[in-house]
Amino acid sequence: MEPDLSYTEYPLRILDQKERGTRRKVVKMYKIQWSHHTEEEATWETEDYLNRHYPGFLSSTSGISFSPPQFNHPISGRDSF
C-alpha cells in the first residue's frame, strides 16, 4: 500500500474465457481474478485491453496463476465489462 492509501492491481489468473461477435469482428474476453480480490470479484476484460496494459500476461498464463510484481496499474484505471 502506498502512502496515499492506493495500491497496485495486476491480474492473477484467468478464470474463464468467451468470444463475442459483432458484424465485423470477434472480440475475445477473459474473466480475470485481480490481485487483492477474490474470484467472486473477477471482471471480464478484452484481449486487447490485457495485451495493451499487461503485455505477455495472456501468453505466459494459459489459465495458470500469475503474479508478477512488475505490473504497475492502479485499480481506478481498469476497464470493466
CATH number for the region 10-66 comes to 2.40.50
Residue 71: predicted pLDDT = 46
DSSP result, 35-50 = TTS-GGG-EEEEHHHH
Task: Give domain limits for the chain.
Answer: 10-66
Question: Which among 21-25, 66-70, 71-75 has the top mean pLDDT?
Answer: 21-25
Residue 69 has pLDDT above 50, yes or no: no
Confidence (pTM): 0.68
pLDDT in tens, 25-35: 999 999 999 99
C-alpha closest to that of 49 among 76, 24, 81, 26:
81
Stretch 36-56: mean pLDDT, rounded? 94
